[in-house]
Structure 1
């Protein structure tokens, strides 16, 4: 039996003022495919993923995170979670109902502790997808999302309490204390992580590639295309996954990754990793040294969408 009502991360939805430039980034550079939309909204899928879409881009006057969407096993789980959150004082944005987005399904929305809109859904139709072949340097699926929080300990406790996420590992600094909390809802090391930051914001969205060779090829392709690189290639200690971080046209951080660790629930114990040890940030030792400049690139702008539900 699953320890969390959440099965996985479905999609991340963002709003941006320069809509055409953001759409071009995902199609021409990042390796996603459009699966529908209308004049001011475009849905993007990963060729290797059964999810109807993993990113939605909406035209808006201001940049914001519209929502993150999480999967649940079935309608009964959706109903039970909505009822439970209501009794626990969580603000519901919408009650459980049939969804009008691609693939349909059944779900509801609520605000997390800092006002991000979260959707939980089940019974979404799967998309016809395919096996990503050797040397194809495009995303297979959405891997994880990381939030910046000025009160990360409270955010971590909120996701543990209300959605039953479990702590996999923590990155800490001897003077600053905790910096990153990696949270799982399945055997994947983390689907969500919370990072200490100066304000509520999106830290980064991560996309998994087929394997190490495809990850390196994809990272190199983006560098050659002139996409601003922040950090990488390298391999983190927590999660044991590779990383290369880039900026999209609106300053959001997007990551290519692969080989994220899986967890054995019977034997796993969370570790505390010291970021002053170089191996914590990059086991390989080939990425740029993690410094204040790199951290600031991922602080992002304060999110304009907190406690304001997106229009769709």
Structure 2
């Protein structure tokens, strides 16, 4: 049986020069709850999620994605994953051990083939959370994370082989080949995806809303606050989810979404979706047509690679 240690996406950690502006955005504008932090670190939770936090902001002179964090079922799977990665000569940043982040737990960090830091942990204490009410336009949870890679085929193979991710769907173009791989670690269509890009970077982080009404109200709040929308509102074909893409104050793309497909893994077969078909990108036809200019909005700045964050 294939080793499948990953259960879900935990959080995405970002470092930025203008800490105060970024902090204000993720709280007041984006609708996350600041739950703590000190010495240039702010932690943000989603009110509907049991995760201790879904976004970490850290002050740094350089903009970067510090890491992406995934959950595992138990400490034994964490240890087994670390052993397998070491045997495969994957660079390990920190050995498995007790974690000093909120909720504790047991985990470790390593570099994926692109040089980004990945954290895997188990046994993290849950946070008191609540049901998001009707018309309450704040994120329920962190939905998924998408990264840019110059070699998405290699990165896909790594996450499949070592972390047990499964391919749900692929976006392709007749002229450019395969452009994005949607990867799942549960019946949810994707919690991670890999896009073909000119450099390694964060493509976008996506936050799930209660429903379409709340998704549209959140989109409107962000627009009224002067947040730059780069694409949307619309509804994708792969994943069947809604989308509104914005830039945070440092140019990272963040998305409001809802209704991401839940798959029957016993019967699902990955599909190939042609990006030149307008229905692939937006079933509703309400967003601007996909173009090179729209695609570039998610390229982001080149990331800091093979360099672990200080915390």
TM-score between both structures, scaled by the size of structure 1: 0.98
Distance 1:82 1:155 in 2: 18
Q: How many angstroms apart in 2 are the aligned matches of 1:121 and 1:32?
A: 22
1:109 aligned partner: 109
Matched, 1:185 2:165: no
In structure 1, C-alpha distance between the alignment counterparts of 2:266 and 2:33, rounded to whole Å: 38
Q: Aligned pair count?
A: 311
Cα root mean square deviation, aligned: 1.0
User: In 2, Cα distance between the equivalents of 1:190 and 1:142?
Assistant: 12
Following superposition of structure 1 onto structure 2, how do residues 139-288 of structure 1 map, counting pairs within 5 Å? 139-288=139-288
The match for 1:24 is: 24
Distance 1:195 1:39 in 2: 34
Q: Alpha-carbon deviation of 1:224? A: 1.5
Unpaired stretches in structure 1, ≥5 consecutive residues? none
Residues 152 and 195, structure 2, Cα contact 8 Å, conserved in 1: yes
Residue 51 of structure 2 aligns to a residue in which SS? coil
- SS across alignment from 2:155: helix
Q: Does 1:307 align with 2:303?
A: no
- CA deviation string 1:89-129 (max 9, x = no partner): 11111111000111110000000011110000001000000
Where do residues 289-308 of structure 1 align in structure 2 (5 Å cutoff)? 289-304=289-304, 306-308=305-307
Aligned to 1:94, what secondary structure does the other structure show? strand
Aligned partner of 1:92 in structure 2 is 92
Q: 1 CA distance for matches of 2:64 and 2:295?
A: 20
Deviation (angstroms), 1:25: 0.2
Partners in 2 of 1:3 and 1:271 — Cα distance?
24
- Residues 203-257 of structure 1 show CA distances to partners (whole Å, capped at 9, x for unaligned) of 0000000011100111111111110000000000000000000000000000000
TM-score (norm 2): 0.99
CA distance in 2, matches of 1:78, 1:263: 26
The aligned residue for residue 53 of structure 1 is 53
Give the Cα–Cα distance (whole angstroms) in 1 for the partners of residues 29 and 266 of structure 2. Answer: 41
Native 8 Å contact 1:2 1:186 kept in 2: no
Could you say which residue in structure 1 is the equivalent of 2:119?
A: 119
Gaps of 5+ in 2: none
Q: 1:3 to 1:218 in 2, by over 3 A?
A: farther
Alignment correspondent of 1:43: 43
For 1:14, the equivalent position in structure 2 comes to 14
- Tell me the CA shift for residue 39 of structure 1: 2.8
2 CA distance for matches of 1:282 and 1:130?
32
CA distance in 2, matches of 1:39, 1:82: 30
SS for the counterpart of 1:216 is helix
C-alpha displacement of 1:308: 0.3
Q: Secondary structure at the match of 1:302?
A: coil
In the alignment, the residues of structure 2 paired with residue 223 and residue 61 of structure 1 have an alpha-carbon distance, to the nearest angstrom, of 28
